Amino acid sequence: MAETTTPKKPAARRTTAVNKPAAKKPAAKKTVAAKKTVAAKKTVAAKSVAAKSKPAAKASPSATAKAAPKQRSAAYKLTPEQIELFGEEMEALRNRVLDDLGQRDVDYIRKIMNAQRGLEVAGRGMLFLSFIPPAWLAGTVSLGLAKIIDNMEIGHNVMQSQYDWTHDPRLSSNDFEWDTAGPSSNWRDSHNFQHHTFTNIVGKDRDVGYGILRMSEDQPWHPYYLGNLLYAFLLMTFFEYGVALHDLEVDRIVSGEISFSDRRDEFDKIWRKASKQAVKDYLLFPALSGPMAPLVFAGNFTANIIRNVWTFSIIFCGHFPEGIEEFTVEETQNETKGEWYYRQVRGSGNLTGGKLFHIMSGNLSHQIEHHLFPDLPAHRYADMAVEVREACARFGIPYNSGPLPKQFFSVVKKIARLSLP
C-alpha cells in the first residue's frame, strides 16, 4: 500500500510540511521552493519570452499579412494599473495552490491512470468477443473512453509538467508518450512553448486555425477559406493526424516559404510514431483476434474517431467561440505579466458541466484557468475558477463560459462566418 500511495520525496516533504506544526517549517520552505523551481520553470520562462519577444521570425504569409484591425472588447479600457493588479491577484492565487500541492494530487492522477487502464483492457477484451453485437459496441465505447482519458486528463496534463514535482517516472513530462499519432516531443514544443507563450496571437500561435482554417478576422481572407467548414469537419474527424502534422508546417511548405527538406526530420519523426500507432490498432490487435479481425479493426477505427471528435470539440470550444479575442503581434510587444494574464482570460472560453464531464475533458473545460495556470494540476481548476471569475467580475473583464452545445454551435457559426470575406 505504501508503494502505491506515497509520492517521491519532494511530494512527501510537502505533505508533511502542510500537516505538521511549525517545527517542520524550514523543510516546507525548501520543498516549496524546489517545487516552484521545477513546476513553474516553463510557465515563468514562457511569460518572460512573451513579454520580451519580437515578432516571429518565420510565419506563413496567410498568418502575418496585414489585416484591418477589429474593435477590441471594452476590457481594453482597463488602466495599466488595473491590469497589473489583476495579474498580481492571479499570481497570488497560483502561488497559494502551488504551495498546497501534495499527496491528494498524486492520489488523484494515479486513480485516473488506473481507471484508464481498466477501460482500455476491458475495451480491447470485449472487442475480441465481437461476434456478440453488444460486446462490439461496449468494447468500442470503452476503448474510445480510454483513449480520451489517455489523451486529455493524463497525457495533455502530464506533458504540461503538472506532475514533474513528484519525480515519479510515470508522471514525467519529458518521458510520457501518449496513445495518438503525434510524437509527444513535438507536442511539448508546439503546445507547451509556442501555444502557451503566444496564446491567440495571430502569426505566432499556430493553434489559431492549425494552418488550415481561418479562425480570426486578423487572418486575411483568401478564396481557399470558402472551404472552412469542410476543412473543419475533416480536421475534427482525423484530429490526431492534424495535431501530428502541426509541427510539419504544411501551410508554409505549400506557400513556398520553406521546403519539405527543411522539415524532413520532423516528417520522419511523425511518420515513425503514426506508423507505430497504425500497426498497433489496425494490424496487431486485429491479427491477435483471429476471425474477429475485421470487427476489431472497425472497433479500433471507431474508437479513434470518437476520441478525435471529442478532443476537437473540447479544444475548439475552449479557444474559438464567439466573443473570444485574438491578438496581433504588434499589440503584444513588450507585454507585461499583467497583460499576459489578461490575454489568457480573453483568449479562452470555459465549458460548464458536472465532475465526470470535466474529467473527460481533461479539465480543459476550464480553459481559462488552464491558460492562466498551465503547469498546475488540472483537477484544481474547478476550485480556482471561483476566484478567477470573481476577480474578472470586479475588474470588468469578460469571462466566456457556457454549456458544450452552445459553445460548439458558436464555434461552427464562427467557422462559417470567417469562410467569407
* Residue 206: all three cell numbers together: 499556430
232 contacts: CB under 8 Å, gap ≥ 6: 213, 412, 415
Is the pLDDT at 391 greater than 90? The verdict is: yes
- The domain of 206 spans 55-100+180-417
Please check whether residue 202 lies inside any domain of the structure. Answer: yes
Nearest to 324 by CA among 346, 342, 343: 346
Number of domain units in the chain:
1
Please check whether residue 31 lies inside any domain of the structure. Answer: no
At residue 10 the predicted structure's pLDDT band, cuts being 50, 70 and 90, is: very low
At residue 128 the predicted structure's pLDDT band, cuts being 50, 70 and 90, is: very high
Put residue 237 in one of left, alpha, beta given phi > 0 → left and psi -120 to 50 → alpha: alpha
Cβ(362)–Cβ(152) below 8 Å = yes
At residue 23 the predicted structure's pLDDT band, cuts being 50, 70 and 90, is: very low
Phi, psi (deg, nearest 5) at residue 327: -130, 155
Please check whether residue 389 lies inside any domain of the structure. Answer: yes
Integer Cα distance of 44 and 55 in angstroms: 20
Query: Hunting for cell 524546489 — which residue is that?
Result: 34
* Residue 3: all three cell numbers together: 508503494
The pLDDT of residue 17 is 31
- Helix, strand, coil share of the chain (percent; to 5): 70, 0, 30
Integer Cα distance of 162 and 264 in angstroms: 31
Percent of the chain exceeding pLDDT 90 equals 71
Please check whether residue 356 lies inside any domain of the structure. Answer: yes
Least confident of 104-108, 148-152, 184-188, 234-238: 184-188
Integer Cα distance of 368 and 343 in angstroms: 10
Please check whether residue 168 lies inside any domain of the structure. Answer: no
Helical ranges in 227-292 per DSSP H: 228-237, 239-244, 250-254, 264-279, 285-288
Please check whether residue 350 lies inside any domain of the structure. Answer: yes
Average pLDDT over residues 41-70: 38
Integer Cα distance of 133 and 144 in angstroms: 17
Strand 401-403 relative to strand 350-352: parallel, antiparallel, unpaired?
A: parallel
Residue-wise pLDDT tens digits, 164-197? 999 999 999 999 999 999 999 888 888 988 899 9
Integer Cα distance of 372 and 380 in angstroms: 12
* Residue 103: all three cell numbers together: 499527496
Is the pLDDT at 400 greater than 80? The verdict is: yes
Q: Which residues pair with 352 in a beta bridge?
A: 403
Please check whether residue 225 lies inside any domain of the structure. Answer: yes
78 contacts: CB under 8 Å, gap ≥ 6: 86, 342, 395, 396, 397
Phi, psi (deg, nearest 5) at residue 418: -80, -5
Integer Cα distance of 421 and 418 in angstroms: 7
Is the pLDDT at 40 greater than 70? The verdict is: no
Is the pLDDT at 296 greater than 70? The verdict is: yes
Residue-wise pLDDT tens digits, 227-257? 999 999 999 999 999 999 988 888 888 888 9
Helix then strand count (H, E) for the chain reads 22, 2
CA 27 to chain centroid: 34
Percent of the chain exceeding pLDDT 70 equals 82
Is the pLDDT at 306 greater than 70? The verdict is: yes
Average pLDDT over residues 336-343: 95
Please check whether residue 133 lies inside any domain of the structure. Answer: no
DSSP for 171-203, written as a single string: G-TTT---SSSS-HHHHIIIIIIIIHHSTTBTT
